[in-house]
Structure 1
Amino acid sequence: MADPAIPPNADEIEAAVNEALHGLELEPHETASILGFANEELPHLQTPETTYYVLGSYRDPYVRRLRRVENELNKRLSAYAFVMGDLREIGLDRLPEFRIRFQLLAAYADYIVGVYEQDAGGEVTELGKISETPYFEKSYVLPRDYCWMTGENFDGKADVVAAAMEIWHSEDLTDEQTADELESLVAEAQESGIGVSKGELTDAVAEREHDNTASYSWVHLNEFRLFELHGRCRPWVEESELRDSVDFVPTPGRHPDWEE
């Protein structure tokens, strides 16, 4: 089998791989495999289309929402959204292949969009990577049920759902008391200008019970807060709200801030 052609951006690829592996010396066949991957996958990210690298969990049921975000982005004209799991592997037994693939794809994508619903799995590592230079400026996060842990009043629907989860799991309340507490919570939320009914709240809590969605660690909350302060975090509660969250991500034709 002939060695892959050397792409015109070979120096950039080498720099990205060096950064991923911290300068580790490659064996000749490893270099050939990486160049083969680059020749096949990177040209899709070097077109006039705006490219979106979508991160998140590939496990059920979270993958359904991940795919929905990818599909919504692909509905845009002149857009190409993708997830790493759909691309071929490089085939490197000795090296940490995930780091290389992530680094190459993140370096050439116009935007990175992370969808988060839990505090476990590979998406934890990805969140840590996109919150640092050089990827922070091109990254947006869509965390489910996220709310910052300060302030005395409800700031959004996610806060109300979080409070409802605490009531739902309280062992000190009877079923009747739980229902009364949820009604009081809905009334308080509505007084704060948050449009939510008891039925919607109960459905949201039940859905999280079915999905076994975990609460976020303090590390996650701090990362989300950083994106929030920079105007690049859009929480969502119900799956039906994902479309509005995706609309928050810049559309094709807008020059990425990180390129300016």
Structure 2
Amino acid sequence: MAKIPENTDELTDFIIDDVLYGLELDPVDSERLLSYMRERHEHLFGPHSTYFVLGSYESPFKYRLDKALDVLNHRHDAYAYLLATQPDLCVSDKIPDLKVKFFLHALYADAIPLILEHDTGGAVAEFGRVERPTLLDRTYLFPRVLEERYDDESLLTTQDAIRARAIELAYHADNLNERLAALAERARDQGLDISTQDLGSYVDSELGGRTPLYSGLITDSLVHLESLDQCFSWTTTEELEEQLSHVL
């Protein structure tokens, strides 16, 4: 289906054909589905702008989701939310309830910001789902450190810039420890009291000890979203907050 379902019949057809791929809904499940929609009517179809925020719920990455919610909810007449905070959809065991619940909310959100920091976990599955034509035009992708912005040494004059560069190196450098040591030396040349251990601890706290990367399949799709002006790279949480201004 190339458009958002406009009535209950279209919605049921969409769920069966595009989400469940022909798996039939029995009358009880159909009624539960419609009941869920009725209960969420004010939330899904109200006059406010709704932002369905996607990304990793793992620590420390969820911190960035919470910051995105704060930024978007400060807009006038806006409601930004996570899927986990919405009521569960109670259907029979044969129905993938979380998948159906996801699409019910994604179909009627005004915008779908997806914050991406690595290529594993639920955020990647969500990325695959929002690439559907029905959802793509309302999707805004925010990958962390897709581009390197602090590779110019003339920019490395403040503690914030040094830390941002450390995060970039964690994503792009093979010999991270050596590069962090060189970066710490650069910081000391600028009169900044930052050690290699300081930078390593900061990177670990930001990335939860994970070695971040994006697979070729992910980066290929990122290029697609960039060409549509719907992909915005960021390094620090403050930059993410600024980039969220692109969400309409």
Same-fold call, TM > 0.5? yes
CA shift digits 1:188-232 (9 cap, x unpaired): xxxxxxxxx895998666433232242122222122221112111
| Structure 2 match to 1:169 | 176
| Structure 2 match to 1:116 | 116
| In structure 2, distance between residues paired with 1:131 and 1:117 | 18
Q: Which runs of 5+ in 1 are unaligned?
A: 1-7, 188-196, 251-260
| In structure 1, distance between residues paired with 2:198 and 2:232 | 21
Shift, 1:24, TM fit: 1.7
Shift, 1:23, TM fit: 2.5
| Structure 2 match to 1:222 | 220
| In structure 2, distance between residues paired with 1:135 and 1:220 | 18
Change (3 A) 1:199 1:146: farther
Greater alpha carbon shift after TM alignment, 216-225 vs 73-82: 216-225
Specify the code of the residue in structure 1 equivalent to 2:145.
D
TM-score of the superposition, structure 2-length normalised?
Answer: 0.77
| In structure 2, distance between residues paired with 1:235 and 1:205 | 22
> What are the equivalent positions in structure 2 for 1:204-219 lying under 5 Å apart?
206-210=201-205, 211-213=208-210, 214-219=212-217
| In structure 2, distance between residues paired with 1:129 and 1:91 | 21
Shift, 1:163, TM fit: 3.6
Q: Which runs of 5+ in 2 are unaligned?
A: 1-5, 156-160
Specify the code of the residue in structure 2 equivalent to 1:109.
A
Between the aligned residues of both structures, percent identity stands at 28
Shift, 1:181, TM fit: 6.0
| Structure 1 match to 2:131 | 131
| Structure 2 match to 1:64 | 63
| In structure 1, distance between residues paired with 2:121 and 2:220 | 18
Shift, 1:41, TM fit: 1.8
Change (3 A) 1:161 1:31: same
Retained in 2: the 8 A contact 1:116–1:141?
yes
Change (3 A) 1:231 1:183: farther
| Structure 1 match to 2:3 | none
Retained in 2: the 8 A contact 1:161–1:201?
no
Retained in 1: the 8 A contact 2:166–2:180?
no
Shift, 1:71, TM fit: 1.7
Retained in 2: the 8 A contact 1:114–1:142?
yes
| Structure 2 match to 1:40 | 39
Match of 1:233 among 222, 231, 234: 231
Shift, 1:159, TM fit: 7.9
| In structure 2, distance between residues paired with 1:27 and 1:142 | 39
Retained in 2: the 8 A contact 1:50–1:79?
yes
TM-score of the superposition, structure 1-length normalised?
Answer: 0.74
1:245 and 2:240 matched:
no
Change (3 A) 1:212 1:223: farther
Shift, 1:69, TM fit: 0.5
Specify the code of the residue in structure 2 equivalent to 1:72.
V
Specify the code of the residue in structure 2 equivalent to 1:212.
G
Q: How many residue pairs get matched? A: 224
3-state SS in 2 of match to 1:134: helix
Shift, 1:126, TM fit: 0.6
